[in-house]
Amino acid sequence: MHVASTRRLLLLALAVTANGQVDYSPYVSPLIGAEGPLPGLAFGGGDIFIGGAVPFGVVKLGIDTFEANRSLATTNGGYTPQGNVTGISMMHESGTGGCPKYGVISQMPLTTVQSPVNLLDNSTYWQKRIGNDTAKAGYFKTELTNGVTVELSGARHAGILEYSFPSEEKHVLVDVSHYLPDENGGDCTQYYVDGKIDISDDNKSYTGYGTYAGGWNLGAPYTVYFCADFDTAPTQALAFNGANASIPNLSGKSRKAADSNDRVGALFSWSNSNASSIRSRIGISFISVDKACMFKDSEVPSWQLNDTVAAAVKEWNKDVFSRIRVDTGEGANQTNLILLYSSLYFMHLMPSNRTGENPKWQSNEPSWDDFYTFWDTSRNTDSLYHLIQIEAYESQIRAIIDIWRHDGFLPDGRSGNYNGLTQGGSDADNVLADAYVKGLRGSVNWTDGYAAMVKDAEVQPSIPNKEGRGALNDWLQYEYVTVNRNERCLSRTVEYSLNDFALSQVARGESPADVSKYLNRSAGWQLTWDHDVKSVNTTPVFTGFLTPRLSNGQFNSSGYNPALCGGCEWSSITYEATPFEYSFVIPHDMQTLIQFMGGVAEFEARLDYIFLPNTSQQDLGANGAGINTIINIGNEPDFQTPYLYHYINKQWKSVNQSRALARQFFKNAPYGVPGNSDAGTLNSWLVWQMLGIYPVVTQPVYLIGSPWFSDINMTVNGNRTLRILASGLGEESYFVQGVKLNGVQWDKNWFEHKDIMVEGGRIEFVLGDKIVVWEKGDVPPSPGHVELGNGTMGK
C-alpha cells in the first residue's frame, strides 16, 4: 500500500505560530478519500486531489497517474495510490465523478531519454512510486522508481517543484499535450486541441499555451497560458512535436501545433550541473503569458520550496481553519481534530477563484469556476460558506449571476469556463434562495439574481443536461416530469419542486406577484405521488411513494418497486438514489409529506426502516460504497434525511442516526469517505454533523443536532463569533438533555439564521447518555405547504 499512514503521531499537536495563532495544519490529512474499498485503488473512493493548493486556488499542483486496471481506473483527482506517474500538472478537480477534467500544464522528471523512451508515449517513461507519499496542507512528496524525489507546493496561480535526481543524468519533460485521459475512453474524455511552446535563449525558462476540451462537463475548448523557469540553466533545451507515439521531431526552441494531432512539448536536460536538485516555478493564466509570468514571480518569489509551503499553510490557517476553533490541547481527541480540519480543507479546494482571469467577457464582477456541482454543494456546502466564508460566498454568487448575464444560464456545474452538467434540478436556484432568505445582500444584484432564477424556471435549455432544467417542457405542461418523455422523471420532479420553492422565496422580496405561482408549482411532486403504491419485499409494508407517471396522467405502477431505480443513472427514473430515498426529499413541505406517508407513526416507522441493515435492494456498484441500508449517506439526496426525525419532535433519533452514519463511514483513513467527495460535499456534511447543527437549505432554518466538541468558536458573518458549548459530552454521552440559545432555554429543535448567525452568540448544550425528548415547541416549519388534494391532475 502506497498511501502513507494517516494515523501517524502528531508531533505538532500544540503547534502555535509566532504570532500566537494556532497552527491547525498538522490535523489535515490530505489522503482521506484517496482509496476506495479495494486497498491500493482509488476506485469507489473520494476521487480527491492530493498536492499543493491554497483555499479556492486556481492551481492544484499534483501528480497525474495511470492505473493498470482500466476498468477500475479512477484518476479524476490525478492522484491514485498505486498508479504510474505520467506527469505532474498544475490544474485538478477534487472529488469529481464522471470523466476526469484538467491534469494540464505538466512536467515529468526523467533520468534517461534513451530508447525505449519516447517523449510522445508516456507508457515508455511512466514511473511507479517507491515507499509512501507524504501529503500535508500545501506540500506533497513522492519518490519515483527512477530514483527522482519530487517535492512540490502550490500558490494561487503558480506552483513550485523540486526534483532531487539520483545521478548525473537529469531531464525534465514538458508535454503541452498532456491531460488526464478517461482510461475507459468514455464519451466525455478530454482531448487536446492546440499547443505552443517557446524556450528562452538562455534555456532557463519557457512559455506558451495549451488548449483542451471535454471532460466531465463536456466542456468547450479552453486555453491555459504558462510561464515557467528553472533555478539552474539547462545545458540543452529543445522543443518537439509529433503525432501520438510517433518519433518526435526534437529541435529548435519553438513549436506551435499544426493541428490537434500535433502534440508539442520540450525537453530540458542538465549534464554539467553538480547540483542534484533542480527546481522549477510555473505560473498559469487564462489571459496571457505575461500574466502567467507575473503570477509566477509574485506568488512564488523564492526558490526555497518551504517558503511557498509556509505561505500556503498560513493562508489555510488564516482563511479556513481558524474560522472554526476547537481545543487542540492535550486532552483533545486527535481523530476528531483530524476529521474536522481535513474536512474543512477538502471543502475549500473548489470552486476556483478566477477573478481577473475570465477570458470570455469583461466585467467588474468577480469570476469563479469549477463548480462541481450545485446539485452537490447546494445541499450544505454553500450554506457553510455563508457562515464562515461570507466574502467568498458573496463573490461566488455575484460570479454565477454574471455567468447568467453573459452565458445565458446560471451554472449547475461549470469548469473550464463552460456550463455543464445538470443532473437534477437547476440547483443554483437553491443556493441563491438560501443566501437571500438569510439576508445576504452586499453587492449582489438581486434583481438580476431573481431574473436568472426565472430563466431556469421558464426557459427550456437547448442542450438538456448542460444547464437550466432539461425537462422543463414536462414541468410547464404537467407540473411533474413524465416517465415517457424524460429521463430521471422522479428525481427531477422532486428537485424542480424545491427549485420553484426557492423562486417563491426570492420572489417575496424581488417580485411579490410571482410568489403564489412558484409556491403552487413547488407542490408538483404531489402529482407524481401514488397514494396506493406499496413497498415490495419490506416488513412492514409502506404505502404511498413517488411513482413514475405518464403524460396521459396514468401512474406506471405495474411491477413497480420503489426500492429499485434501474441503476440510478442518467437514464434511470431517479438519479443517485432510489425512489424510496427521494420520497423523503421534500424539505419545503414536510407537513404534506408526513401526511402522505400516513401520519407521524407511519412516517417514523418508514424512516426507522431505511436505517436497518440489509434493506437496500438496489445494487449501486462503486457508488454504493458497500452500503447495505436504503439510506446512503455517500450520495447527496440523502444528506438531510437522517435529520428528519426533527419534524416529529424526536430530535434524539436524528442525533443517533446521523452520528452513527458519521462514525461508520467517515474515518481518518485512506478509505475515509463513502464514495466521491464531490468537491468536498461529503466533508461539509461531516463538519455540520460535528458542529451539532444542520441547515435546511432555501429556508433560514437550522436543525439542532449534537456537537462533537465541548467548546467551538466559529467566526460567522465575517467578524462575529458563534460559540457552541457542550457540557457532559462523552463517547456515549451525546443525547441532548437541553439547549440554551443566547442564555434562553430553547424548547424547539430548530432556530433561525437571525437568531444567532448574524450577530453571533452562544449555543449551550447539555448532553448525556439518556434519551430525552426535550423539545416541546413547534416542529421545524413547512413554508412550502400546499394542499393540492388527491386526484388533482396536472394542467
Ligand X SMILES: *[C@@H]1O[C@H](CO)[C@@H](O)[C@H](O)[C@H]1NC(C)=O
404534506: which residue's cell? 592
184 binds ligand X per the rule CB under 6 A: no
Kindly state the smallest distance separating residue 110's Cβ from ligand X, in Å.
11
Q: Which of 184, 200, 236, 745 binds ligand X (CB under 6 A)?
A: 236
> For ligand X, which stretch binds (CB under 6 A), given 344-352, 442-450, 458-466, 766-774?
442-450
559 binds ligand X per the rule CB under 6 A: no
Angle at CA 366, nearest 5°, toward 364 and 368?
145
Binding to ligand X, residues 289-318 (CB under 6 A):
304, 306-307, 310
757 binds ligand X per the rule CB under 6 A: no
Kindly state the smallest distance separating residue 423's Cβ from ligand X, in Å.
26
Q: Which of 142, 203, 497, 616 binds ligand X (CB under 6 A)?
A: 203
Of 243, 262, 246, 290, residue with least CA distance to 195: 262
15 binds ligand X per the rule CB under 6 A: no
Report the C-alpha gap between 392 and 250 in whole angstroms. 46
684 binds ligand X per the rule CB under 6 A: no
> For ligand X, which stretch binds (CB under 6 A), given 214-222, 387-395, 516-524, 767-775?
387-395
Site string for ligand X, 691-720 (x = CB under 6 A): --------------------x-x----xx-
- Cell numbers for 40: 491500493
Q: 621 by DSSP, 3-state: which?
A: helix
198 binds ligand X per the rule CB under 6 A: no
- Report the sign of the C-alpha dihedral through residues 230, 236, 241, 244, in that order: negative
Name the phi and psi angles at 281, rounded to 5: -115, 140
| 585 alpha carbon, distance to own chain's centre | 20
Report the C-alpha gap between 705 and 688 in whole angstroms. 9
| Alpha helix (H) residue ranges in 638-721 | 651-665, 681-691
Q: 239 by DSSP, 3-state: which?
A: strand
178 binds ligand X per the rule CB under 6 A: yes
231 binds ligand X per the rule CB under 6 A: no
126 binds ligand X per the rule CB under 6 A: yes
59 binds ligand X per the rule CB under 6 A: no
254 binds ligand X per the rule CB under 6 A: no
Distances (CA, A) of 641 to 590, 613, 695, 696: 11, 16, 12, 11
Kindly state the smallest distance separating residue 418's Cβ from ligand X, in Å.
20
Q: Which of 111, 217, 395, 677 binds ligand X (CB under 6 A)?
A: 395
785 binds ligand X per the rule CB under 6 A: no
Residue number with CB closer to ligand X (445 or 615)? 445
115 binds ligand X per the rule CB under 6 A: no
Task: Please name the residues in contact with 279: beta carbons below 8 A apart, sequence gap of 6 or more.
Answer: 160, 161, 162, 163, 230, 231, 232, 303, 305
656 binds ligand X per the rule CB under 6 A: no
Report the C-alpha gap between 692 and 741 in whole angstroms. 13
Report the C-alpha gap between 82 and 295 in whole angstroms. 33
353 binds ligand X per the rule CB under 6 A: yes
Residue number with CB closer to ligand X (1 or 793)? 1
Site residue total, ligand X (CB under 6 A): 56
Report the C-alpha gap between 493 and 425 in whole angstroms. 8
Residue number with CB closer to ligand X (22 or 481)? 22
Kindly state the smallest distance separating residue 9's Cβ from ligand X, in Å.
12
Indicate the residue type of 637. P
Report the C-alpha gap between 346 and 683 in whole angstroms. 7
Is residue 727 within 8 A of residue 677, CB to CB? The reply is no
Q: Which of 76, 86, 223, 422 binds ligand X (CB under 6 A)?
A: 86
Of 372, 367, 346, residue with least CA distance to 30: 346
336 binds ligand X per the rule CB under 6 A: yes
Binding to ligand X, residues 512-531 (CB under 6 A):
531
Q: Which of 233, 332, 600, 758 binds ligand X (CB under 6 A)?
A: 233
Is residue 208 within 8 A of residue 233, CB to CB? The reply is no
Is residue 781 within 8 A of residue 734, CB to CB? The reply is no
Q: Which of 235, 271, 477, 484 binds ligand X (CB under 6 A)?
A: 235
Kindly state the smallest distance separating residue 306's Cβ from ligand X, in Å.
4
Site string for ligand X, 723-742 (x = CB under 6 A): x-------------------
76 binds ligand X per the rule CB under 6 A: no
69 binds ligand X per the rule CB under 6 A: yes
Task: Please name the residues in contact with 11: beta carbons below 8 A apart, sequence gap of 6 or more.
Answer: 26
- Cell numbers for 270: 542538465
For 752-770, give the DSSP string: EHHHHTSS-EEEEEEEESS
Q: Which of 14, 39, 186, 202 binds ligand X (CB under 6 A)?
A: 202
> For ligand X, which stretch binds (CB under 6 A), given 352-360, 479-487, 629-637, 671-679?
352-360
186 binds ligand X per the rule CB under 6 A: no
Residue number with CB closer to ligand X (577 or 622)? 622
436 binds ligand X per the rule CB under 6 A: no
- Cell numbers for 294: 507575473
Residue number with CB closer to ligand X (307 or 569)? 307
Report the C-alpha gap between 229 and 725 in whole angstroms. 51
Kindly state the smallest distance separating residue 202's Cβ from ligand X, in Å.
5
Kindly state the smallest distance separating residue 409's Cβ from ligand X, in Å.
15
Task: Please name the residues in contact with 20: beta carbons below 8 A apart, sequence gap of 6 or more.
Answer: none
246 binds ligand X per the rule CB under 6 A: no
> For ligand X, which stretch binds (CB under 6 A), given 46-54, 215-223, 348-356, 506-514?
348-356
448 binds ligand X per the rule CB under 6 A: yes
Residue number with CB closer to ligand X (406 or 777)? 406
Binding to ligand X, residues 592-651 (CB under 6 A):
none
Q: Which of 29, 74, 76, 84 binds ligand X (CB under 6 A)?
A: 84
Is residue 144 within 8 A of residue 161, CB to CB? The reply is no
Report the C-alpha gap between 574 and 588 in whole angstroms. 20
Kindly state the smallest distance separating residue 488's Cβ from ligand X, in Å.
26
Residue number with CB closer to ligand X (423 or 715)? 715
Is residue 189 within 8 A of residue 214, CB to CB? The reply is yes
Q: Which of 276, 335, 664, 792 binds ligand X (CB under 6 A)?
A: 335
Dihedral of the alpha carbons of 286, 290, 291, 295, in degrees to the nearest 10: 120
Is residue 3 within 8 A of residue 42, CB to CB? The reply is no
Of 39, 129, 77, 63, residue with least CA distance to 669: 39
Is residue 312 within 8 A of residue 349, CB to CB? The reply is no
Q: Which of 170, 296, 325, 379 binds ligand X (CB under 6 A)?
A: 325
Q: Strands across the sheet with 149-154, in order? A: 129-136, 139-144, 149-154, 158-164, 277-285, 219-230, 205-214, 191-199, 254-256
566 binds ligand X per the rule CB under 6 A: no
Pairing of strands 761-768, 720-727: parallel
Q: Which of 200, 271, 276, 447 binds ligand X (CB under 6 A)?
A: 447
Residue number with CB closer to ligand X (127 or 574)? 127
Bridge partners (DSSP) of residue 752 are 701
Report the C-alpha gap between 527 and 523 in whole angstroms. 8
Q: 402 by DSSP, 3-state: which?
A: helix
Q: Which of 273, 355, 551, 557 binds ligand X (CB under 6 A)?
A: 355
Kindly state the smallest distance separating residue 543's Cβ from ligand X, in Å.
8
- Tell me which residues touch ligand X (CB under 6 A): 1, 4-5, 64, 66, 68-69, 71-72, 84, 86, 122-123, 126-128, 131-132, 145, 178, 181, 202-203, 233, 235-238, 304, 306-307, 310, 325-327, 333, 335-336, 353, 355-356, 391-392, 395, 445, 447-448, 531, 663, 711, 713, 718-719, 723, 789-790
